[in-house]
Amino acid sequence: MDGHVLALAGGVGGAKLVLGLSRILPPERLTVVVNTGDDEEFHGLHVSPDLDTVMYTLAGLANPETGWGLAGETFNALSMLGKYGAETWFNLGDNDLATHITRTRLLREGATLSEATEELCRKLGVMHRVVPMTDDRVRTTLSTDSGELAMQDYFVRWQSEPKVNAVNYVGADSASPSRGLLEALEYAEMVIFCPSNPFLSLGPILAVPGLRVLMKGFGGIRVGVSPIVGGAALRGPAGKMMAELGEAVSCTAVARQYEEMLDIFLIDHEDAAHAPMIEGIGIQAEVASIIMNDDDDKVGLARHILALANG
Ligand code: GDP
Ligand code: CA
């Protein structure tokens, strides 16, 4: 295959595979569409956690320990904000703040989030195209036993502890897909659902009106990678949430979320026994090494996926 690839991604899990893809595909062959349901305003600044994770990863600036934030970061500004009585539960590093200040300035000057993202990426030397799912405001909230929580409240402040009863994508009904997304979809030959949280990362993207229909009608090949291996998420609350929402915690349950939107779903060797159930959903199961511990794993998985287009 020598066509264009469109990858749907959240933060850390998505960025791992995106890094692998970026090492194989030249910039003009990859567009990464990123979740913005996690976006939040802190200290008057527009923070886009997933866009930043993907951007910092592709710029080679990401913190290798956490997968998010910048390497070698310090937190002096946050301490000072604390002295002024500001809430400091959301970790914003000194260098990271420069990103949010610049994004906020660009938005105030009238740029769309797509334009602001493009400018930030350009300045950091990110050559592959990174676009938000929408330029409109969509906010993921969780209905929990501790009340209705914004995504960052739930995830960072409450450490994903409250029991989740429902996930909502506030504003999604009146959002439109970004132009970058629609353009890339027009010439893409492959769509990849990265191993991101199905409810908190790919759910918001698919909640943008038209997206499910576009995915169902996509003429090329659609490949997903499971974020669940051996009955648990590799990190984060995906597994806990699935159980609380009444789903089995399995790669099969993730595949079911993407019914009619995927041709092939990659599952780990450990989950090989799930293949028949996934095929029962009408999705071809491909057993592979889907745990990405280092850059070789990321490139290897990306190569495996891209090769599926040829066979
Ligand atoms: P977030 O926005 O930072 O939470 O990131 P994502 O939603 O993109 O990714 C979170 C998901 O990535 C979790 O459900 C993890 O299980 C999954 N994940 C993390 N590392 C890996 C990996 O190496 N392989 C696979 N298959 N999934 C992973
Ligand atoms: Ca996220």
- Cβ count within 10 A of residue 81: 17
Strand 164-170 to 139-144 pairing: antiparallel
Residue 150 lies in a domain: no
Atom of ligand 1 nearest to the CA of 238: 14
Q: Which 3 state secondary structure label does DSSP give 208?
A: coil
- Looking at the 3D structure of the chain, how many domains does it have? 1
- For residue 189 the two structure tokens come to 């030959």
> Is 152 part of a structural domain of the chain?
no
No. of helices (H) and no. of strands (E), the chain: 13, 14
Alpha-carbon distance of 130 to 67, in angstroms, equals 17
Domain assignment present for residue 290? The answer is yes
Selection from 132, 144, 126, 131 nearest residue 56 by Cα: 126
| Cα(216)–Cα(222) distance, integer angstroms | 9
The neighbouring-strand residues paired with 167 are 142
Q: CA 162 to CA 178: how far, in whole Å? A: 32
Nearest ligand 1 atom to the CA of 227 is 27
DSSP per position, 22-64: HHHS-GGGEEEEE--TT-EEETTEEE-HHHHHHHHHHTT-B-T
Ligand 1: atom nearest CA of 239 is 14
CATH of residue 81: 3.40.50.10680
Is 222 strand, coil or helix? strand
Distance CA 87, CA 209 (A): 34
Domain assignment present for 149: no
The residue type of 176 is S
Cα 291 to averaged position of ligand 1 atoms, centre (Å)? 10
Alpha carbon of 38 to ligand 1 centroid (Å): 15
Q: In the block, which residue shows the tokens 């602001």? A: 116
Interior CA angle at 134 toward 133 and 140, to 5°? 80
Ligand 1 mean position to 81 CA, how many Å? Answer: 31
Atom of ligand 1 nearest to the CA of 9: 8
Helix (H) / strand (E) containing 146: none
Q: Is the residue at 301 inside a domain?
A: yes
- Ligand approaching nearest to the C-alpha of 11: 1
Contact 10 CB / ligand 1 (< 6 Å): yes
Q: Please tell me the distance between residue 260's alpha carbon and the centre of ligand 1 in angstroms.
A: 22
In a domain, 23, yes or no: yes
Q: At what angle do helices 12-24 and 49-58 cross, to 10 degrees?
A: 30
pLDDT in tens, the chain (311 residues): 789 999 999 999 999 999 999 999 999 999 999 999 999 999 999 999 999 999 999 999 999 999 999 999 999 999 999 999 999 999 999 999 999 999 999 999 999 999 999 999 999 999 999 999 999 999 999 999 999 999 999 999 999 999 999 999 999 999 999 999 999 999 999 999 999 999 999 999 999 999 999 999 999 999 999 999 999 999 999 999 999 999 999 999 999 999 999 999 999 999 999 999 999 999 999 999 999 999 999 999 999 999 999 87
Q: Is residue 250 part of a domain?
A: yes
Whether 108 is covered by a domain: the verdict is yes
Q: How far is the CA of 49 from the centre of ligand 2 (A)?
A: 6
Ligand 1 lined by 13 (C-beta under 6 Å):
yes
Over its C-alpha atoms, the chain yields an Rg (Å, rounded) of 18
Token readout for 213 is 């229909």
Domain that holds residue 88: 4-136+171-310
- Whether 195 lines ligand 1, by a CB cut-off of 6 Å, is yes
Q: Which residues sit opposite 132 in a β-bridge?
A: 34
